[in-house]
Amino acid sequence: MSGKVLNILNNKLVTNSEDETTQLGAEFSQIFLKAGNVVALYGDLGSGKTRFVKGICKGLGFLENVTSPSFTIVNEYATKSVKIFHFDFYRVSSASEIVDIGFDDYIYDEGICVIEWADRVRDLLPPGRYDIYFRLGDSDTCREIEITKINCDSI
């Protein structure tokens, strides 16, 4: 996997195991992410989103357990250099629910926001984010992952 990540923007990547998906997330975070970034994740259940988030957290130095905040909506992970806000909007039925929890405060904080099920709040997402699409591949462990940088002028 190492070395692939330098060439990932606007390309489709294939991971062949959960460990490779985690490693891709770690490399992506180390090369591209900094305080204030937003990462929007799209894909079906079981497509690798949470596994990728585990890699992001690992790459940024958070080595404790990372779980999807399906019921709490957001988990916060603190590293030595940055806070990571991990959102899971699977159970959210409208964007107004997100506004009520102070979503804007997180998005415009100096942490890194990683959002599973971002399609549910697409209209609330800022430009300058990364959109990452996850698709099931040819086998149970294969994932197709596409990473795109959404620039201010492309909105």
Q: Using one digit for the tens of pLDDT, what is the confidence trace for 35-65? A: 999 999 999 999 999 999 999 999 999 999 9
pLDDT score of 126: 93
Q: Could you tell me where the DSSP H helices lie in 33-102?
A: 49-59, 95-100
86, amino acid identity: H
Cα gap 29→112, rounded to integer Å:
10
At 96-141, the pLDDT tens digits run 888 888 899 999 889 999 999 999 998 899 999 999 999 998 899 9
Confirm if 22 and 51 have CB atoms less than 8 A apart: yes
Q: Is the pLDDT of residue 9 over 70?
A: no
Looking at every residue in the chain, the average pLDDT score rounds to 90
- What is the pairing mode between strands 38-42 and 129-136? parallel
What angle, 0 to 180 degrees and rounded to 10, lies between the N-to-C axes of helices 18-32 and 49-59? 50
Confirm if 85 and 109 have CB atoms less than 8 A apart: yes
pLDDT score of 155: 43
Q: Which two tokens stand for residue 149?
A: 């940088």
pLDDT score of 154: 47
Q: Which two tokens stand for residue 101?
A: 């929890």
Output helix, strand, coil percentages for the chain, rounded to the nearest 5: 35, 25, 40
pLDDT score of 103: 92
Spell out the domains of the chain, with CATH numbers in brackets. 4-154 (3.40.50.300)
